Amino acid sequence: MHVGDQTLLPSAERSIYYASSAPLAHTPNTPPTQLTTIPNFRDVGAIINGYKPSSSFGENTARQPLRTGILFRGARPDEASFQDKQRLLKDYKIKSIVDLRTKTEHIEQARRRDARIRTSAAVPQSNEDVAKPLKIPGIKYHDINFNGSAFSRMLISKLSWLEFFWLIVLMLFGYRLDAVKILAPHMESMGLSGLATESLDVCTKEVRKFFEVLTDEQNLPVFVHCTQGKDRTGLVIMLVLFLLGVSEDAITYDYMLSGPALEPERQERLKEIASIGLSEHFASVPPDVVELVHRHIHARYGGIEAYLESVGVDIYMRNQVKRLLLA
C-alpha cells in the first residue's frame, strides 16, 4: 500500500473512537468512555494493533503487538472539560503528561483562557470549568520544549542580518508572535517534512528527554501532546514506533488519523496558523511525512537504533522502552 493511499482514511474516525473508548489493557473492567473536549486523542497501541493493511504483501504479520492503555497522544488538553480531565485520571489512569509546546504557545494559551474567563458571564459555564487550572491536579507534567534553543538556532541561522535584527527587537519588546512571523517564510520553504527531518538532527536533547520519560515505569500511562497533536507529537511517536518495529504503513495510518480528528476545529487552527504568518499547509497532514522521516533516519544515521544512540538514548533505555510498550 502506498502512503498516499486513500484507503487509510475511511475507517479513521471509527478508529479514533475505538482508541478513545477501548478499555485499558491493565484495567479490563474500565467502562468505555469517549473524550469530547480533547481533540485528536487516541491510544497508540490500540490503533497500531487494530491496523489492517489492504494487502499482506510486505507486512510483517508476526510483529509483536503493543500494550494498550499505556501510550496516548492528542492535542492540547487545556480546554478539556472537568469531566474529561477526570476521565484522564480515573478511566485512562494517566500518570503523566508530556507537553511539547514552546513558551510562546503557553503564553498565548493562557491569554486565551483568561479572555474566556472574563467573558464567562456572556457564555455561562459551570464553576468547575471557570475555576479549572491549565494543569490537571494528580498528574505529573513533563514540559519539553521540543522546538527549543537548538531548533531556534537552526531557524535563526537562515535569517538575513536585517531579519535577525528585527527578530531581536520584537522579542525584546515582548512581541513574540510578530517575531515568529519573521521566521515563517523560512519554515514555509522547509515544509512540514523538512521541519521534521531538521528537528531530528537538532532537537537531540529534547528527544532524549522524551525517551527518559518513557523509560520510567512510574510515568506510565503517559499522554503526549503539543498544540494540535500531529507534528511534534507525531514525530516523537514515530520514533517510538520505529523502535518497536512497527511497519511504515501502520505508522502512516496512525499519523494520518490526525486529519479527520482535527477537522472540526480546522477553521480555528487556520486562524492560529495565519496569525504567525504560515499557510494552511501547516494545518495539513501530508501522507509522505512518515516515509521521508524514515528514509532520513536510515540515510543519515543507519537506522533508528543508531539514531537514538547518537542522541543519548542508549541500549538500556531502548530495551526498557521495548519492555514497557511491547505486549
Domain region containing 212? 6-150+181-325
pTM here is: 0.80
Q: Is 80 exposed, middle or buried (0-12, 13-18, 19+ CB in 10 A)?
A: buried
Q: Interhelix angle for 176-202 vs 232-243, to 10°?
A: 10
Higher pLDDT, 256 or 283: 256
Select from 263, 68, 255, 103 the least CA-distant residue to 176: 103
Residue 126, pLDDT score? 46
Residue 324, pLDDT score? 98
For the stretch 185-242, pLDDT in tens is 888 878 899 999 999 999 999 999 999 999 999 999 999 999 999 999 999 999 999 9
For the domain that residue 90 is a member of, what is the CATH number?
Answer: 3.90.190.10
Q: Would 130 be classed as within a structural domain?
A: yes
For residue 257, pLDDT over 50 is answered with yes
Residue holding cell 512510574? 218
For residue 268, pLDDT over 90 is answered with no
Q: Would 172 be classed as within a structural domain?
A: no
Residue 149, pLDDT score? 82
Question: Which of 29-38, 170-179, 188-197, 226-235 shows the lowest mean pLDDT across its residues?
Answer: 29-38
Q: Would 165 be classed as within a structural domain?
A: no
φ/ψ region of 144 (left if φ > 0, alpha if ψ in -120 to 50, else beta) reads beta
Residue 118, pLDDT score? 57
For residue 141, pLDDT over 70 is answered with yes
φ/ψ region of 259 (left if φ > 0, alpha if ψ in -120 to 50, else beta) reads alpha
Residue 112, pLDDT score? 64
Per-residue confidence at 255, pLDDT binned at 50, 70, 90? Answer: very high
Q: How far separated are the first and last CA of the chain, in Å rounded? A: 26
For residue 107, pLDDT over 60 is answered with yes
Select from 171, 143, 174 the least CA-distant residue to 155: 171
Q: Would 26 be classed as within a structural domain?
A: yes
Q: How is 179-229 classified by DSSP, letter by letter?
A: HHHHHHHHHHHHHHHHHHHHHHHH-HHHHHHHHHHHH-GGG-SEEEE-SSS
Q: Would 168 be classed as within a structural domain?
A: no
